[in-house]
Amino acid sequence: MPEIQYFSKEITLSPQSEPAGKSFPAKLAYWTFGDVSNPAVLLPSCYGGTLATTTPFLYSTDEGNKPVFPTSKYFVIVTGLLGGGESSSPINAPDPWKGADFPHVTYEDNIRLQYALCESLGVKKLHAYIGFSMGGQQAYHMATLYLDFVEHMVCLAGSARTSWHNWSFLEGPRNALVHSIDFKEGRYTETPLRGQRAFMRVYSTWALSQGWYRQKCWEQLGFKTLEEYLEAGWSGEKADGNGLLALLWTWQKGDITLYHPDDKGDLAKTLGRIKAKCLIFPSRTDTYFPPEDNEEEVKHLQKGEFRCIETVWGHIAGGGGGTKEDTEYMKTEIARFVGAAYA
């Protein structure tokens, strides 16, 4: 693994942040690959994601993978979300921002920090901005905040605005954590394992589809039972409770219409402002970001295309967590969309 790099900048928290308008010493964790003179591609992380797990199938050659964006031809930037554990987060922030006192940051805070990073690297335009889940939402926000900065935007299993159904789903794991006996209103001195385990177990069912469970797809991953699968991947032991809530708050507040008050919350109007070529790419069985919402979004984009992964692997298929066929389909369509030589 390459060493994590950090971009530090004192930022003014956005109007939707809490506390709004305050100065915050932000650190953005990132990797870069390739030469900055080549077309730039930015890949932002998702909920629970790290730099290492952020869509590596798009640029890495590890394990024989054929990348869409070989680093010999593209300048690839991978960034971590504020709150995600590598960038500024409750677990690593200095006083007075540590732990439960970490600010409620927004997508706007993240995107403006990423844009500042690009400026510092000498990137004047992104050939592509591609994100999965919360990364897909960031893709919409970057394309809305900086209308002339992104040439191609790809939203994988995300949305322009967090729906009320999505918001309500997130209330389930949130309440499981905050009401656990060991969470202590975020001022714990030992990892709140009971609360984090409860959070993850509530969260896990939504990440996949009913068909996935019906077909016992955990067996394809080498697990004999569902319980074995859940213990291995959804125990919550490696998480940080305050970090989980910080990211969740950002997710719940996602709404690109906030940047254009004159649109008065009319998503169609705000979508119509986006100049980037957009590929909106959900999973058919995603319970967080259903394809029906994305189909409606594409109707209002100036240059929008819709593709859908036909899979039982639910939400996680959009991040490369589905079948090889699912991931290959995404790679082929993304390459076609951005004009990359991939076959």
Domain 5-162+254-338 fold is Rossmann fold (3.40.50)
Range 150-169 average pLDDT:
98
Range 302-324 average pLDDT:
98
CB-based contacts of 311: which residues, under 8 Å, 6+ apart? 283, 284, 285, 317, 322, 323, 326
Does the active-site annotation cover 262? no
Per-residue pLDDT reduced to its tens digit, 57-93: 999 999 899 999 999 999 999 999 999 999 999 999 9
For residues 65-91, one letter each, b for 16 or more C-beta atoms within 10 angstroms of the residue's C-beta and e for the rest, the string is eebbbbbeebbbbbbbbbbbbbbbbbb
Q: Where in the chain are all domains bearing CATH 3.40.50.1820?
A: 5-162+254-338
- pLDDT for 68 equals 97
Catalytic residue, candidates 255, 286, 293, 326: 286
Catalytic residue, candidates 133, 159, 209, 283: 133
- pLDDT for 341 equals 83
Angle CA(107)–CA(109)–CA(114) in degrees, nearest 5? 90
Q: What is the DSSP string of 155-216?
A: EES--SB--HHHHHHHHHHHHHHHTSTTTGGG--SS--HHHHHHHHHHHHHHHS-HHHHHTT
- pLDDT for 61 equals 94
CB 7 within 8 A of CB 88: no
- pLDDT for 343 equals 61
pTM, entire model: 0.97
Q: What percent of the chain has pLDDT over 70?
A: 100
- pLDDT for 342 equals 75
CB 273 within 8 A of CB 300: no
Does the active-site annotation cover 255? no
Per-residue pLDDT reduced to its tens digit, 251-269: 999 999 999 999 999 999 9
Does the active-site annotation cover 180? no
Per-residue pLDDT reduced to its tens digit, 11-53: 999 999 999 999 999 999 999 999 999 999 999 999 999 999 9
Catalytic residue, candidates 104, 127, 152, 315: 315
CB 151 within 8 A of CB 276: yes
Does residue 158 carry a pLDDT above 70?
A: yes
For 208, the token pair is: 């996949």
Interhelix angle 107-121/134-145, rounded to 10 degrees, is 70
Residue tagged 């905040």 (tokens): 145
Cα radius of gyration (the chain) = 19
CB-based contacts of 314: which residues, under 8 Å, 6+ apart? 206, 207, 208, 209, 212, 283, 285, 286, 287
> Which of left, alpha, beta for 264 (phi over 0: left; psi -120 to 50: alpha)?
left
The candidate with the shortest Cα–Cα distance to 259, out of 151, 111, 150, is: 111
By the 10 Å C-beta count (0-12 exposed, 13-18 middle, 19+ buried), 308 is classed as middle
Range 140-146 average pLDDT:
98
For 303, the token pair is: 């240059």
Confidence grade of residue 1 (pLDDT, cut at 50, 70, 90):
confident
The candidate with the shortest Cα–Cα distance to 287, out of 192, 112, 163, 125, is: 163
Query: How far apart (Å, rounded) are the C-alpha atoms in residues 267 and 330?
Result: 26
CB-based contacts of 254: which residues, under 8 Å, 6+ apart? 107, 134, 137, 141, 159, 161, 162
Per-residue pLDDT reduced to its tens digit, 105-130: 999 999 999 999 999 999 999 999 99
